[in-house]
Amino acid sequence: MLPFFYTMINIKTKNRPLVKKTKWILVILLPLQWLFINLIKDDPNWIEFNYSLNIYPFFFNLQAFFLKYLPFSFGDLAYAMALVYVIWSLGRFIKRQIKIYPLLLNLLASTSLLSILFHLHWGLNYYRLPLHEKLNYRNEYTQEELEKTLGLMIQSTNELHASLSNEDSVAVQIPYSKEKIILLIEEHFDFDLYNFKTQPYLKNSLWSIPLSYMGFAGYLNPLTLESQINSKIPKLSYITTATHEMAHQLGIASESEANFVAFYTSSKHPDPFIQYAAYSFAIRYCYAELYKADSEKAKNKLSKLNTGVLKNYQKQSSFWSKFQNPFEPYFKKGYDTYLKANGQTKGIQSYNAMVSMLIAYTLANESTLP
């Protein structure tokens, strides 16, 4: 998108020296940005109280004012235009209509501008105070606490399943359309640690099928701040993915923290189908962690789940199996590299790190569970 912007300037303006000077300024700013980020990222208090709680909400509310009510994803459309331009530029380069020097200059200037916009709009949230510190939760747990939490999640899920399905062996069928699910979640999205004047919102991605082949359920566009969801995924996944991506709109960059917020907000929702999605979602992560520590105990716990709940899981797995392809691991590896480059040392495995917060919250609120 940005190389396209530069090309349009070159075509339409007669002041080419000014354009070239602007590009060189952006190139010079590239290493200066790196120095600045490395200086402030070790001061999460400064980022928390200056950027995350003041600057970022300003940008979110400003962009939401223009983009929230568009009936389509502006960010998805921009990505499509950028892809078309990149393919066109490569074609011209192969035909030697573009020289290497201006191409490299445009590329470096575009990278610099993208970096500025990324960090200013959203990216500095990666270095804010960890959520578990703000909630005063321990970031560690014992196996006994993990087993107890998994047991409570199974108990709550079974009880919700029994109230929503005719038989233990029948999977829960969510009766709402996905458009209705969006409205329900937006109406009752509640994470009281952050008091946003504008509630988070959600849009179905224009590119849901490509997302399915890439293995992604949703994402936040860090430039337009639109939360996108893969409209093809099963409804149970749709609910927790929606709340996960909307958590990112609150400035929660960490994947593990966004997972915790997805559980927290969905479990507090007044609708029992959305609560069911929350508790069945939590089981997957607790089970995976217990399985690493003691596979037999994990299997024994899972055997207590209603058969209908397992059928819901099978439906989710069946969906993703239809889109498996040899390129998916490379997309996941690219995202893993992106996360690590932005301070999430566990990369794509950081999604599982929500378990410690889930345990702390569950054991502190055991009496209020379904």
Which pLDDT tens digits describe the chain residue by residue (370 residues)?
444 444 444 444 455 677 778 888 888 888 899 899 888 988 999 999 999 988 999 999 999 999 999 989 999 998 888 888 778 777 776 777 666 777 788 888 888 888 999 998 899 999 999 998 888 888 889 999 999 999 999 999 999 999 999 888 999 999 999 999 999 999 888 776 666 666 889 999 999 999 999 899 999 999 999 999 999 999 999 999 999 999 999 999 999 999 999 999 999 999 999 999 999 999 999 999 999 999 999 999 999 999 999 999 999 999 999 988 776 666 666 766 756 666 666 655 545 678 999 999 999 888 778 7
Q: What are phi and psi of 45, to 5 degrees?
A: -65, -40
Query: What tokens does 290 get?
Result: 């217990």
**pLDDT at residue 9, as a whole number:** 40
**pLDDT at residue 4, as a whole number:** 40
C-alpha distances in Å from residue 288, one per residue of 9, 281, 293, 296: 52, 12, 9, 12
Helix axes 143-164, 295-302, angle to 10 degrees: 20
Comparing CA positions, the residue from 221, 321, 277 lying closest to residue 229 is 221
**pLDDT at residue 225, as a whole number:** 94
CA gap 219, 122 in Å, rounded? 13
CA gap 349, 343 in Å, rounded? 13
Comparing CA positions, the residue from 231, 257, 239 lying closest to residue 354 is 257
Q: What is the dihedral of CA 357, 358, 359, 361, to 10 degrees?
A: 80
**pLDDT at residue 258, as a whole number:** 93
User: pTM for this one?
Assistant: 0.87
Residue type, 212: S
**pLDDT at residue 83, as a whole number:** 85
Q: Can you give the C-alpha Rg of the chain in angstroms? A: 23
The label of the residue with tokens 């912007």 reads 5
**pLDDT at residue 12, as a whole number:** 44
Sign of torsion over alpha carbons 148, 356, 309, 272: positive
Asked if 360 and 137 count as a contact pair (C-beta separation under 8 A), the reply is: yes
Query: Chain-centre distance of CA 119, in angstroms?
Result: 16
Count other C-beta atoms under 10 Å from residue 247's C-beta.
28
Instruction: Spell out the residues 6+ positions from residue 177 whose beta carbon is closer than 8 angstroms to its own.
Output: none
Asked if 181 and 242 count as a contact pair (C-beta separation under 8 A), the reply is: yes
Asked if 137 and 357 count as a contact pair (C-beta separation under 8 A), the reply is: yes
DSSP 243-298: HHHHHHHTT---HHHHHHHHHHHHHTSS-HHHHHHHHHHHHHHHHHHHHHH-HHHH
To the nearest 5 percent, what fractions of the chain are helix, strand and coil? 70, 0, 25
Comparing CA positions, the residue from 236, 49, 46, 90 lying closest to residue 157 is 236
C-alpha distances in Å from residue 72, one per residue of 203, 224, 250, 321: 7, 12, 21, 28
Q: Which helix (H) or strand (E) holds 240?
A: helix 235-249
Query: What tokens does 340 get?
Result: 């690590």
CA gap 339, 66 in Å, rounded? 29
**pLDDT at residue 348, as a whole number:** 52
